[in-house]
Structure 1
Amino acid sequence: MMFGISIQALLGQLLLGLINGSFYAVLSLGLAIIFGLLRLINFAHGAQYMMGAFVAWLLLNRVGVGYWWAILLAPILVGAFGVICERVLISKLYKLDHLYGLLLTFGIALVVQGLFRNQFGSSGLSYAVPAQLTGGANLGFMFVPYYRLWVIVVSLVVCLAVWLLIDRTKLGSYLRAATENPELVGAFGINVPLLITATYGLGVALAGFAGVLAAPIFSVNPNMGGDLIIIVFAVVVIGGMGSILGSVMTGYALGLVEGLTKVFYPEASSIVIFVVMIFILMLKPAGLFGKEI
């Protein structure tokens, strides 16, 4: 016992915090890519996360396509929606103040949520856990469903793979260079608008991927991205706006902090991330891994 808290309860909440942190990490990774490379605050990210869950549900219930295909197809379809939005709407605003992009993506989010709410209502829709991941493991201190362990593992793999793509490959170097000096990169024969569109599509696809992961755990409904995206924005700010690795690490860390708070002071668990954000910004305005401008 520690402070009247059992070790089993502590470990259990840490594991649950790691599961929440997995969603924070994947979503904040998508936001960090879009802001870090395009300098666009994508307020539609929560709606795109919701779209990923709904696409998985529609594929299963209207087309008969199960979870394993949905986890591949849904991010592609949601990413394609993002590409269309970027080409038709967002690309017109790159030379304007960042506020215009924020307002536009916020408007896109409202339209998307309104359309889904009108079509499906606000009550949640269930999405079954795939048969291969039913059941769970007894860890001694708690019984953990296999699906939640899968969420932790696949989130880590995806975050690591995307970070390596952006930070350690030639394509990633082209993406970073295209945002810093598009004229110079274009002079080498590289299609800069295509790179920018692909970058936004990748960030949106990550939101859709997180939505598919969330579908069997949370209720699939048009409002599912609203509250979560506020937390994810806080994660990105704490990690450092535009810092891809910082956002991922901060996402997992804050999930664990949230889990610890539920053990020692449950009443503060819903605000602890924002309290951390306030203190971090007071001490380091650029965030933990961000660069001072």
Structure 2
Amino acid sequence: MNLNLILGQMVLGVVNGVFYALLSLGLSVIFGMLGVINFAHGMFFMLGAVFAWILLEFAGIPYWGALFLAPAIVGLIGMATEKSVIRFAYRLDHLYSLLITLGLAISAEGLVRLIFGAQGLPYSVPAELRGAVNLGFMFLPTYRVWVVVFGVVICILTWLAIEKSSIGARLRAATEDPQLVQSFGINVPLMLTLTYGAGVALAALAGVLAAPIYSVDPFMGTNIVVVIFAVVVIGGMGSILGSIATGLFLGVAEGFARAVFPEISSTAVFIIMALVLIVRPQGLFGKG
């Protein structure tokens, strides 16, 4: 058994784990605060990468500008989607929100495929982040180091904003008793719209980070969204900390499986999900 291979795959798994954490974090924010099973989350991940490519090709805005502009654009699209479509699912069974967002995801995927084609679009690594870092057992591309550091910082800041800030406290109160919070003069519908926009902006940010690593194509959201739902279920639906910790852990576990048991690497996440649900149906960090 090659120890360097195992360590290398686990390090690469950390990179995937950061994407899992960012995406599941946004998904948990939306479910925990709005009660919406947002199957369109992969769509917003894909749109983040697509808008990064559009900004570069048609507006000449490089990666560093797209890192902020693309999530902002996708966040505005998400807010418009919440006000026009998602809001009607709040009082309905969770199944309806899943079906509505699934329809949105399929429609967006088809539209992007129609406009840009099914073949992946290349997006170059910014010049400042080219090269590699020698870890002793492997050379890790500098860009992937950046993804890990930046992604973890964003996850921590998001957790602090929701769990430790006054805005987060108001938002949690609004989801528990919206009428009471509204009586204090707080615009609850606006807070919910902003929450949905922030959640999908996190997905778009992950899409921008993923663009230089993977090709920008209409299927990138579909390929990852099922895994992200598994991450959220394992961590506990609506648990912010659970999404971050579980996303990082599963990325590493997936990398370990790829090196040791490559036959089960594509299903390792779902095997772990089945085992967790048998022992703890509410997830590792979820409430009973």
TM-score (norm 1): 0.97
1:68 corresponds to: 64
How many pairs align? 288
Say if 2:228 is the partner of 1:232.
Answer: yes
Say if 2:88 is the partner of 1:92.
Answer: yes
Distance 2:7 2:89 in 1: 47
1:203 corresponds to: 199
Deviations 1:221-261 (A, max 9, x none): 00011121110100000000000110110000000111111
Query: SS of 2:281's equivalent?
Result: coil
Query: SS of 2:118's equivalent?
Result: coil
1:153 corresponds to: 149
Q: CA deviation at 1:95?
A: 1.1
Which of 12, 24, 33 is matched with 1:16 structurally?
12
Query: SS of 1:144's equivalent?
Result: strand
Q: Report runs of 4+ in structure 1 exceeding 3 Å deviation.
A: none
2:124 corresponds to: 128
Deviations 1:244-280 (A, max 9, x none): 1101100000001111111211111000100000010
Distance 2:96 2:7 in 1: 45
Deviations 1:125-148 (A, max 9, x none): 000000100111111100111000
Distance 1:164 1:285 in 2: 27
Which of 24, 31, 44 is matched with 2:27 structurally?
31
2:267 corresponds to: 271
Q: CA deviation at 1:66?
A: 0.2
Say if 2:50 is the partner of 1:54.
Answer: yes
Distance 2:218 2:4 in 1: 35
Worse-matched range after superposition: 259-268 or 179-188: 259-268
Distance 1:48 1:114 in 2: 14
Distance 2:145 2:262 in 1: 24
Root mean square deviation of aligned Cα: 0.6
Q: CA deviation at 1:216?
A: 0.1
Deviations 1:57-76 (A, max 9, x none): 00000100000000000000
Segments of 5+ residues of structure 1 without an aligned counterpart are none
Distance 1:133 1:217 in 2: 12
2:283 corresponds to: 287
Q: CA deviation at 1:6?
A: 2.5
Identity of aligned residues (%): 55
- Report the AA paired with residue 92 of structure 1: F
TM-score (norm 2): 0.99
Q: CA deviation at 1:96?
A: 1.4
Which of 233, 240, 243 is matched with 2:239 structurally?
243
